Amino acid sequence: MIALIEKQTGLKAILKFFKKLIASARNEVEPDRTQVRIYLRSEHNISRSQISENALKVLYRLQKEGFAAYLVGGCVRDLLLGREPKDFDVVTNADPEQIKKIFRNCRLIGRRFRLAHVHFGREVIEVATFRGAGEEQNDKQVLNKEGRLLRDNVYGTIEEDVWRRDFTVNALYYNIKDFSVVDYVGGMADHKAATLRLIGDPETRFREDPVRMLRAVRFAVKLGFKLHPDCEKSMHEAAELLSSIPSARLYDETLKLFLSGYALQTFEMLRHYGLFQVLFPATENCLSVEEDGFPRLLLIRALENSDNRIAEGKTVTAYFLLAAFLWEPVQMRAKEKMVRGTVEFMAYQDAANEVISRQIKSTALPRHITMAMREVWSLQPKFNARTGSKPSRLLTHPRFRAGYDFLLLRAETGGADPELAQWWAKYQDANENEQRKMTQPPRKVQGGKSGRKRNYRGNVKDSATGKEA
Ligand code: ATP
Ligand code: MG
């Protein structure tokens, strides 16, 4: 027996040796994730010239007062990639009251876990005290019955702080004391291998906070990183857990996901992991019964347009994209109502109400957003009126531009007559005289082909009766 065990242990050691050999031949030495590794200034590419002056001020000031101070999270990750970070997060062993005493321009926020916001004009540097309650200290953590983390509010040391972070590449600390990067979890190796790996057991970590799945998608797309196979596997299994997250938090995450310039890829990846259906159940429903590619095309075009605008440095509005997400469900509901005899205007209004009130159960769209979405939708049938004073009144509508852009989107993707979109393009550029000519009622043509036109949902409509032929 002992001989057998020895034999097996020997085999294991040989296997391990060969694995290491292969890894080192591929230049991917597996780091020891239980040992802290310090990368000296000469061993990484983060230079102070890339760091915001205000973040540096905060770091130096904390250090001067005798505290430890590090940059951590997304900013270190992005600096290593040579990208400009979105914001700079600082962690320290000073507690919030101590931080407040050091910085006059400081406000403490958060009730559960207090954070300091140090204000420099429009720039805010977030300063957090190291958080405790790592996996070994479950007594400080409060989990619900599904294993979701409800309370996580104890100050700790840097060695504890690291374990509550999500991905290894988000858990690198840039130390202002000697400009080194401190790595407790093999984050540098993952960074080099462009891999998103959860710290600890993926299933537990997703269970603790299912929003980490959305973060995984966001970072994978934004950084061009791949998900570690273990992380990927758990994600397929844990997607459903996302529905337990408060809808307000999901709304915030949704905006980050879709307004970051990679909306199309994000959409595809969310669908792949079954996460999109939690965020937009009605849209997912329509996508799965899609006919002739109409709904998919409109949505995809909206996502592409939005990414292109961001790439060109233009702004994108959340309500426009959200209106595109929910347009197909609204249309489907409206059509059902029209079949039952509701007039078009009312059918669309009722459908919009129903779709929105269901949607806010998943992602809590704020009222000003849903109001704007409704306006964009309700403008759509109004574009059909091209005679008399209606067109000129429509031009003065505060949401005309968004409504018109939405019409273009529909026209480009087979949901509206391209000639109608062209007419509105021409009408906007025309002078008053031309506009008057354009809006004169046409002379009636009786019967024949000219009385028929396509209604861009694949059916032929008789323009005189409005009935489908
Ligand atoms: P971004 O570029 O979007 O700001 P980020 O990684 O900085 O990316 P933040 O939301 O600013 O993301 O969070 C800062 C850091 O806090 C993260 O890098 C991570 O270490 C930690 N963190 C944030 N959210 C979570 C979470 N849900 N679970 C665990 N750690 C988290
Ligand atoms: Mg950040």
On whether the CB atoms of residues 127 and 153 are closer than 8 A, the answer is no
pLDDT at 293 over 50: yes
Query: pLDDT category, 466, cuts 50, 70, 90?
Result: very low
Structural domain including 102 reads 28-199
Q: Which atom of ligand 1 is nearest to the CA of 165?
A: 30
pLDDT at 28 over 60: no
Sole residue written with tokens 């000129």: 392
Of 148, 167, 199, the residue that ends a domain is 199
Once rounded to an integer, what is the mean pLDDT over residues 138-160?
Answer: 69
Confidence (pTM): 0.84
pLDDT value, residue 445: 57
CA of 245 to the centre of ligand 1 (A): 17
Annotated active-site residue 230? The verdict is: no
233 within domain boundaries: no
Question: To which H or E segment does residue 108 belong?
Answer: strand 106-109
12 within domain boundaries: no
- 3-state SS, 233-286, equals HHHHHHHHHHHHCCHHHHHHHHHHHHCCCCHHHHHHHHHHCCCHHHHCHHHHHH
Query: pLDDT category, 463, cuts 50, 70, 90?
Result: very low
Strand 195-196 and strand 226-227: the pairing is: parallel
Cα separation, 429 vs 395, in Å, equals 11
Question: For a pocket test of ligand 1, which of 89, 207, 245 has the largest count of ligand atoms closer than 8 A to its C-beta?
Answer: 89
- Per-residue pLDDT of 169-200, as tens digits, reads 999 999 999 999 999 999 999 999 999 999 99
Once rounded to an integer, what is the mean pLDDT over residues 14-43?
Answer: 72
Pocket of ligand 1 (CB under 6 A): 73-74, 86-87, 89, 165-166, 170-171, 209, 211-212
pLDDT value, residue 31: 76
89, 183, 307, 417: the catalytic one is 89
Say whether both 38 and 185 belong to one domain. Answer: yes
56 within domain boundaries: yes
pLDDT value, residue 129: 96
pLDDT at 450 over 50: no
pLDDT at 20 over 90: no
| Higher-pLDDT residue of 154, 137 | 154
On whether the CB atoms of residues 369 and 255 are closer than 8 A, the answer is no
pLDDT value, residue 469: 31
On whether the CB atoms of residues 184 and 206 are closer than 8 A, the answer is no
Query: pLDDT category, 448, cuts 50, 70, 90?
Result: very low
User: Residue 194: CA atoms inside 13 Å, Cβ hemisphere, count?
Assistant: 8
Cα separation, 342 vs 345, in Å, equals 8
Nearest Cα residue to 135 out of 109, 107, 165, 114: 165
> What amino acid is encoded at 30 in this protein?
E
Nearest Cα residue to 80 out of 173, 191, 4, 175: 191
CA of 86 to the centre of ligand 2 (A): 6
Query: pLDDT category, 291, cuts 50, 70, 90?
Result: low
Tokens of residue 188, six digits: 């540098």
Of 141, 175, 199, the residue that ends a domain is 199
pLDDT value, residue 459: 39
Say whether both 433 and 342 belong to one domain. Answer: yes
pLDDT at 458 over 50: no
CA of 425 to the centre of ligand 2 (A): 42
What CATH number did the domain enclosing 313 receive? 1.10.3090.10
15 within domain boundaries: no
Tokens of residue 205, six digits: 């970590």
Q: Which atom of ligand 1 is nearest to the CA of 215?
A: 27
pLDDT value, residue 468: 38
152 within domain boundaries: yes
Sole residue written with tokens 């529909």: 410
What CATH number did the domain enclosing 175 receive? 3.30.460.10
Cα separation, 406 vs 414, in Å, equals 12
pLDDT value, residue 243: 93
79 within domain boundaries: yes
Chain mean pLDDT for the chain: 87
pLDDT at 453 over 80: no
CA of 86 to the centre of ligand 1 (A): 12
- Per-residue pLDDT of 199-225, as tens digits, reads 999 999 999 999 999 999 999 999 999
Q: Which atom of ligand 1 is nearest to the CA of 218?
A: 3
Once rounded to an integer, what is the mean pLDDT over residues 268-289?
Answer: 93
Say whether both 319 and 190 belong to one domain. Answer: no
Annotated active-site residue 32? The verdict is: no
- Per-residue pLDDT of 34-87, as tens digits, reads 789 999 999 999 999 999 999 999 999 999 999 999 999 999 999 999 999 999
User: Residue 446: CA atoms inside 13 Å, Cβ hemisphere, count?
Assistant: 0
215 within domain boundaries: no
Based on the number of CB atoms within 10 Å of its own CB, is 383 exposed (0-12), middle (13-18) or buried (19 or more)? buried
pLDDT at 134 over 50: no
Domain count, the chain: 2
Strand 89-92 and strand 123-129: the pairing is: parallel
Cα separation, 196 vs 190, in Å, equals 7
pLDDT value, residue 297: 85
Q: Which atom of ligand 1 is nearest to the CA of 89?
A: 14
Say whether both 288 and 179 belong to one domain. Answer: no
CA-proximal residue: ligand 1, atom 4 (nearest): 74
Query: pLDDT category, 153, cuts 50, 70, 90?
Result: low
Say whether both 292 and 394 belong to one domain. Answer: yes
Say whether both 44 and 190 belong to one domain. Answer: yes
CA of 212 to the centre of ligand 1 (A): 9
Q: Any idea which of 296-300, 303-307, 330-334 has the lowest mean pLDDT?
A: 296-300
Strand 123-129 and strand 142-143: the pairing is: unpaired
pLDDT at 342 over 50: yes
Annotated active-site residue 87? The verdict is: yes
Of 199, 227, 248, the residue that ends a domain is 199
Sole residue written with tokens 């769209």: 365
161, 166, 209, 307: the catalytic one is 166
